Chains A and B, each alone.
Chain A
């Protein structure tokens, strides 16, 4: 076996190369490369049908790739059935065994191994880790959704997997419970030092939890980066559109100078940081995040228009300004009356010019 030469801080745990998976005529995963470093919290983010769950199921061993190579700890996974992969899954529906108590659910993998002597103690520790130690004798139907989710996590970490897969584990819970469990999951991941691969369609959840976010679109990886980079420098218009409330304005690159470019749009010319490879003459997309527009500023306003829709969202309001046929979304403290004239200053240095997604 070849000696690995990855940097000591983040040795490679899982490597996927050129993975393809089709179901009948539809291609769910269209040739992706994905590396998961040790101890990483990596999130697959994308709309439903983008292939993220299929990727997860292939790592778990429930689906077999049509093409490509997948290695865990540099060992090929192709012929390893799910039960022999050092990988465990937290299912979207929790998939707790209804005929077994919480204790028996959590002990399931240890009992199958045989020869594990301290099962009771390890079950206790796993349940302690998710604050469910007092519920060992209950049956799944006697638990709330949040409690079931915790048991599902305890069940999946007790065998100390190399990699934990989580398939939208919080999607069935209410907002408040989701927030709680996000914090707990993140803390648990740090404490256990296990790599997590997390699937979600919720970008806030992805940003809150992840070291690495992988945005998927139509079976391909649109961007793989840390959350800040995904947010401030989306690799293409799909990522920009999927993340947050940005306004996307189509245009054409007029000039390129270093990291920056000038784009001609319906709003006029704007000079901003631009994605690598965009050159004069290319069609491109100007991405304006809501917080980059302000109704106060120095000198001449960047845009002037009138207020269209206002949506009250509690601590702030999301307002659409109609400027030259474009609806520019920006945040304000309170809703504004429709038709009010409005002047907006753009923090162009923090906006971004990106590619148009295929």
Chain B
């Protein structure tokens, strides 16, 4: 990139940094404030941080966010690879159609999808009715709705398109002749995948993982509305602290702690994936 091209990126970069740092600075400031008679008072108090440090609930919820993000990332990656690789084999016209199909669920809006899932997974929902109809089960499956299973299923479903897109773009850049060369040299299709395709698509996997992790770890609506008793999240707690409980200092501290944790996990994930030989061959020369 030339000197001048770099300068073109400056205004946007500045806006992104300012738009990110300013609210963060506000959060940091708030986390040291005090609340007196339902009023936020500027102060330099460690009350909120102290409360957070010893709250097992808060840390449990932060851990849950990490787990939820990592699990969703792993599930979407496992499901996304076959889909992404299948997409690379479509003709150009088929690819256009495939992208539309892939992204259509995203256009329906989260609330609509959540209520649709309730209809599909509920006690008298589509799945249970169908399974009872064919005689596979006698009683409706209870775990389908309002359970950790529901959260995992829906988060995976919601985030799959992002993972597929990221891996797909990476897979399109893998020279097909490399796969033929691998087969020619004795690799079964599964060997060719693990020795050639996977290493050379790790940049896409990294991009997809970061996106999916960020989206699913911070997800609040899906767990709240479909997770039942297991649906509590750190995000919902932050929402509650800012709103009903009017404890902005604690809300700020919790939000910052959550952000820092997710950032660390995401960096670790990206670092791990991009350290692989294949990624280094694609992204930066070894």
Instruction: Let me know if A159 and B181 touch, CB within 8 A.
Output: no
**Which residues of A, 92-151, contact B by the 8 Å Cβ criterion?**
93, 95-100, 108-109, 112-113, 139, 141
Chain A binder among B60-68, B74-82, B278-286 = B278-286
Cα-based distance from A89 to B285 in the complex (angstroms): 27
* Contact assessment for B178 and A88 in the assembled complex, using a CB-CB cutoff below 8 Å: no
Q: Report the nearest B residue to A155, measured CB to CB.
A: B185
Task: Say if the beta carbon of B184 comes within 8 Å of chain A.
Answer: yes
A89 in contact with B181 given A98-B200, A99-B280, A100-B277 (CB within 8 Å): yes
Chain A neighbourhood of B280, CB < 8 A: 99
Contact partner of B180 (CB less than 8 A), chosen from A62, A87, A99, A109, is A62
Is A81 part of the contact surface with B, judged by Cβ < 8 Å?
yes
A91 to chain B, nearest CB (A): 6
Which residue of the partner chain, among B178, B182, B184, B277, contacts A60 with CB atoms under 8 Å? B184
22 contacts between A and B (CB under 8 A): A60-B184, A61-B184, A62-B183, A81-B183, A82-B183, A84-B186, A87-B184, A91-B181, A93-B175, A95-B180, A97-B178, A97-B181, A97-B182, A98-B200, A99-B199, A99-B281, A99-B286, A108-B186, A109-B186, A139-B281, A139-B286, A159-B186
Task: Establish whether residues B184 and A98, one from each chain, have CB atoms under 8 Å apart when the complex forms.
Answer: no
Chief secondary structure at chain B's binding surface: helix
Write the residues of chain A forming the contact surface with B, with a CB cutoff of 8 angstroms: 60-62, 81-84, 87-89, 91, 93, 95-100, 108-109, 112-113, 139, 141, 155-156, 159
Contact across chains for A97 and B184 when beta carbons are under 8 A apart: no
Known contacts A98-B282, A99-B277, A112-B191; A83 and B183 CB within 8 A of each other: yes
**Is B184 within 8 A of A99, CB to CB?**
no
Residue picked from A95, A99, A141, most chain B C-beta under 10 Å: A99
Q: Are B183 and A108 in contact (CB under 8 A)?
A: no
- CB pair A113 B186 closer than 8 Å: yes
Q: Is the CB of B281 within 8 A of A159?
A: no
Does B120 interact with chain A (Cβ within 8 Å)? Answer: no
Q: Please measure, in the bound complex, the distance between the C-alpha atom of A89 and the C-alpha atom of B186, giving whole angstroms.
A: 11
**CB nearest neighbor in A for B280:** A99
Q: Top 5 A-B pairs ranked by shortest CB distance?
A: A99-B281, A95-B181, A109-B185, A95-B177, A99-B278
Instruction: List chain A residues, Cβ under 8 A from B281.
Output: 98-99, 139
Interface string of B240-259 (1 = CB under 8 A from A): 00000000000000000000
In whole Å, how far is B197's beta carbon from the nearest beta carbon of chain A?
11
In the bound complex, CA of A109 to CA of B196 (Å): 13
Interface centre among A89, A155, A159 (most CB of B within 10 A): A89
Minimum C-beta distance from A137 to chain B (A): 11
Give the residues in chain B near A62, CB-CB below 8 Å.
Answer: 180, 183-184
B207 to chain A, nearest CB (A): 17
